[in-house]
Structure 1
Amino acid sequence: MNVLLCGLAENPALPAELMDRLIAVADTDVADVLARRADLTHDQAVALVARVEESALPLACGGHLTAADIDPVTRPDAALALLDRGAGAPWWARLLVTGPVARRERLAACPDLPSDVVEALATDPELGVVAELALWTTSRWTAGLAAHPHAEVRRAVAANEAAPAAVLAALVTGDGLPPLRRCPACDRGEGPSVHDPRGPRPHGVLSPGASCDGSHESAVHDIRLAALRNPATPVHAVAALADHPSRLLRQALAARPDLPADVCRRLVADPVAGVRAELAANAVLDDALVRVPAADRDPAVRRAAAYNPRVPLDVLDRLADTVRLPAEPLPRIAAASPAEVGELARSGNPAVRMLVAQRRDLPADVRDALAADPDAKVVASVAAHPGLAEARLRAMVRRHGDRVAAAVAANPDASPALLEDLAGRRPPVRKALREIARHRHATAAALLPCLEDARTRPVAAAHPALPPPLVAALLTDADRQTASSAAANPSLPPSAMSRLLPRR
């Protein structure tokens, strides 16, 4: 891989003339980068395909090519990409339906296929093709596919959100469907079998321990699991699974946002912590029931309850002391009213103040009060809040030093002078350097210390505030990632860009 040419292919300031020269010498790695550019013209896309055949697929996926640019006989993969985007010609599907298995599988996932093509795919001799169709096809075809004799096809229908509610309910209960005749486990032989998790897997990936004694029990379990995870499956069809012996089924049920209250009451006392944790974060719980998992003996369940959008604030206050909470606003904190925000900011519990300080839409008085908090963790949480005056940001660093330096450096309003001071701290604060290296206000003076840190150097090398001569010098850096970043830097002089390209 030529890292300099790959970096140049990313450079947003690459002139059109040099883009054309780069396309003329592109290899597969460079072409892969160029194909992701949003500013690539149609003519350039066509030229890139002529240079690197493999680029046709990503260019078609990205919308750079049209049906007029593609011959489905010579470039079937690109044709499939256009069909998948709804931009291909219908006759292409009739041509590709007779192609290799892998292409038929991709075709089966495409939208708006002609009826005769769908019918051909539905009766394809390869099970994987039929299953792919069952997963993506429209409601018109799902009822017939739900009656397929193989469990893999039925499982795919169970996961298809376009399937009608009645079809999905039938897949859960089996009512109205013909008996299953085959499943992945029994495909291993002619008679009943037990699946060896280390053995061959002819269709898809089987769960360890999956077995078939003729009843296809493991396959039926997987069909139900797929239906449970499908939001289109009616809840009345799966409610009875709250008492099923399978932990996986009960856990998937506990995550559904449409659970009736009686099902919630059964699952909140489930013997498996994973099931209780899934339910604990579910917004379907009412204000009274959400208190139960918040007091659970298992810390994972209590932590999940903290993510519940309906958890009462007094409960969240207690949870903040008993479980480790994330460094981003919890749903309940994000939804807090202005009055609640003020209440949270005045809490005597610093863990709670830290949670509200993570919001980035705080009223100015609340923001400023949290910026003056005596607790460094609270200050670090609010430090990146937009609107903080430079004097407040500097006061944070004076009071709390390196503990808040990185968070202050991440503030979008941090001034160039402040960033220079933070970059010059000795010993250096490496987390602060990484924030400075990507900050829009960073100056060359602030970026120079960033270049001294090995982990931050590649990030800083891409910053447009670096002087052009220095960017050009970094092209020969011993670190390949740094050199590539310099080649992608929009401040790289066009003359240096040109020198990276072979002469015509």
Structure 2
Amino acid sequence: MNHVLFGLAANEALPSDLVDRLIAVADADLGHVLAGRADLSHAQAVSLASRVAGSAVRLAHGGHLTAADIDPVAQPLAALALLDARAGSPEWARILAADPSHEHREKLAACPELPADVVDTLAADADVRVVAELALWTTPHRAAVLARHPHAEVRRAVALNEATPPAVLAALLTGEGLPPAQHCLVCDREATPFVHDPECPRLDCDLMPGASCDGSHASTLHDIRHAALGNPATPTEAVTGFADHPSLSLRWALAARPDLPPEVCRRLATDPHSGVRADLAGNPAVDEALIRTLADDPDHEVRRSLAHHPHVPLDVLTRLAATTRVGATLLPRIAAATPAEVEELAHSPNPSARMLLARRRELPPGIRDRLAQDPDAKVVKSIAGHPGLSDAHLRAMVDRHGVRVVAKVATNPEATPALLEDLTRHEPVVHKALREVARHRRATAPALRACLADRQARPLAAGHPALPPATIVELLTDTDWHVVEAAAANPSLRLTVLSDLVP
């Protein structure tokens, strides 16, 4: 594998004539990279597809090929890609519906707007995998018909399809009004009763661990219920009875539904399994009273999920932040805080409250600058990436809090080139900061050279356009192939170098 050529194939500055030369020598791997170029001409796309057949799929998905360029018999995957993008010929669908490859027919079944006769053909396919794929994506009318299919796997796919009519989904939950399924993937392959060993040693076995059938298709019927419970189109009144179901996975699927009535939420809040309670805690259906109850849950993940609830009261949220790792993301409730709430949080004596606010961007300048001078390092670390902070503010952060904030200061989009250089010279070295500097659009050549000393920052620096061309050339022979590819893809490589590297 020639990693220099791989990098060149992705180099956005590679002239068109050199792209032509790469196409002329492309193998399957190089062809895949070339097919991802946004600047390919139609002629180049056709040439690449003819040389590397496998590249035609990516070219078709990227809009580089048209129906006139594809032979559906010789290039079925490319034809399927165009059909999936609604850019293929309806006649292709009829040809591919008779393709001997079940994988091709499965892909066809997932394509939108198929001719009615093709849908009829796929619905009657002898391979249940094809019918199930159709059931997963088909129209409400066809889904209702396939819900009565004799194979349980098809019914499971219908239960996943959000276009399935609500009444049909309710029937799949209970089985009422539907004829019993006659087959499932388990009894298709094994003599019943059978329970699949979770430690199954057979390399060619694709049954799920614990899959079982005693003639009732038990595990697949369970999966049908699980799919219907997770389907937002399933009627609320059809799912509420599962709050006390003995199956953990069914209660767990129910807990995430945003349409749960208050009494169901209260029942799930006492579930013995913390995973059910955690999913419920993040559910917008949970009211304030139950939020306050869940805030005292002994399980960390329940409290963490509650912190991400969009309507959690601020006093509960700040209490959670003080005792629970809520993650470094901006929480929904903080993002929705009113101007008055922003003021309240900024002046809170609780540093956890100020830290949560500091993760929000586009803060008023006065509040932003106040948080930048906060005495608590975790607050400063959270505000350090905020746009609009002055060079003086950023340097003061580093002076006061040192290694705890250096990496976050390096992420600030307005950090000056001089500051970035200084951060790479910080003692002790902050390796994460080197990686951030190597990504920064304002990084200078001296800063990038310093980043090359770090193993993880080295590939990032190798691809940075501010790196001097001579240094980029040196990196083309690096022992790390990630660095080689990044250097070869660097748009600052001189044209003469590019021309010499392309065969």
TM range (shorter): over 0.9
Q: Residues 314-344 of structure 1, C-alpha deviation per residue, up to 9 Å, x if partnerless?
A: 1112111221120111111111111111211
Q: How far apart are the structure 1 equivalents of 2:199 and 2:310?
A: 42
> What letter matches 2:348 in structure 1?
S
| 1:102-148 Cα deviation digits (max 9, x unpaired) | 11111111111111111111111111111111111111211110001
Rate the CA distance shift 1:242–1:294 in 2: closer, same or farther, 3 A: same
Of stretches 183-192 and 331-340 in structure 1, the one that deviates more from structure 2 is: 183-192
1:60 aligned to 2:60?
yes
Q: What is the match of residue 288 of structure 1?
A: 289
Rounded to whole Å, the distance in 2 between the matches of 1:251 and 1:327 is 26
In the alignment, the residues of structure 1 paired with residue 183 and residue 448 of structure 2 have an alpha-carbon distance, to the nearest angstrom, of 64
One-letter amino acid of the structure 2 residue matched with residue 83 of structure 1: L
Give the counterpart letter for 2:6 in structure 1. C
Q: What is the correspondence of 1:27-176 to structure 2 with a 5 Å cutoff?
A: 27-99=27-99, 100-176=101-177
Matched position secondary structure for 1:290: helix
Q: Which amino acid aligns with 2:392?
A: A
* AA of the residue aligned to 1:445: P
Q: Distance in 2 between matches of 1:474 and 1:280?
A: 50
Distance 2:22 2:427 in 1: 43
Q: Against the structure 1 CA distance between its residues 445 and 201, is the aligned structure 2 distance closer, same or farther, given a 3 Å change threshold?
A: closer
Task: Please report how far the alpha carbon of residue 34 of structure 1 lies from its aligned counterpart in structure 2 after TM superposition.
Answer: 1.2
Question: Distance in 2 between the 1:215 and 1:112 partners?
Answer: 35
Q: Are 2:345 and 1:355 equivalent residues in the alignment?
A: no
* Correspondence for 2:460: 459
State how far apart, in whole Å, the 2-side matches of 1:171 and 1:202 are.
31
In the alignment, is the contact (CA less than 8 A) between 1:277 and 1:293 conserved in 2?
no
> How far, CA to CA, are the matches of 1:236 and 1:25 in structure 2?
62
Q: Distance in 2 between matches of 1:47 and 1:189?
A: 49
Q: Out of 58-67 and 466-475, give the one that drifted further.
A: 466-475
Are 1:80 and 1:107, in contact at CA under 8 Å, matched by a contact in 2? yes
- List, as ranges, runs of 4+ consecutive aligned residues in structure 1 with deviation greater than 4 Å: 198-204
SS of match in other structure, 2:54: helix
Deviations 1:142-163 (A, max 9, x none): 1110001111000000001111
Change (3 A) 1:203 1:183: farther
Structure 1 unaligned blocks of 5 or more: none
Shift of 1:204: 6.0
**SS in structure 2 at match of 1:107:** helix
Instruction: State the match for 2:382 in structure 1.
Output: 381
CA contact (8 A) 2:459 2:483 kept: yes
1:75-474 to structure 2, matched below 5 A, reads: 75-99=75-99, 100-189=101-190, 191-199=192-200, 205-206=207-208, 208-474=209-475
Give the Cα separation in 1 of the matches to 2:199 and 2:484: 45
CA contact (8 A) 1:451 1:460 kept: yes
**Structure 1 residue 191 displacement after superposition:** 4.4
Cα distance in 2 between the residues matched to 1:313 and 1:201:
53
**TM-score, length-scaled by structure 1:** 0.96
| Whole-Å separation in 2 of the counterparts to 1:478 and 1:184 | 49
Q: Deviations over 1:85-116 (max 9, x none)?
A: 11110111111111111111111111111111
TM-score by length of 2: 0.96
1:389, distance to aligned residue in structure 2 (A): 0.7
Rounded to whole Å, the distance in 2 between the matches of 1:463 and 1:457 is 10
In structure 1, the residue corresponding to 2:289 is in which secondary structure? coil
Deviation track 1:174-205 (CA, whole Å, cap 9, x = no partner) reads 12111111122333345443333345699964
Offset of residue 377 of structure 1: 1.3
Please say if residues 184 and 203 of structure 1, whose CA atoms lie closer than 8 Å, have aligned partners that are also in contact.
no
> Where does the alignment leave 5 or more consecutive residues of structure 2 unmatched?
none
Provide the rounded CA distance (Å) in 1 between the counterparts of 2:298 and 2:421: 49
Q: Report the CA distance shift for 1:191/1:418 in structure 2 as closer, same or farther (over 3 A).
A: closer
Equivalent pairs counted in the alignment come to: 501
User: In the alignment, which residue of structure 1 is the partner of 2:5?
Assistant: 5
Aligned-pair distance for 1:501? 1.1
**Are residues 261 and 24 of structure 1, via their aligned partners in 2, closer, same or farther at CA, if it must alter by over 3 Å?**
same
1:479 Cα deviation (Å)?
Answer: 2.2
**Cα offset for 1:215?**
2.5
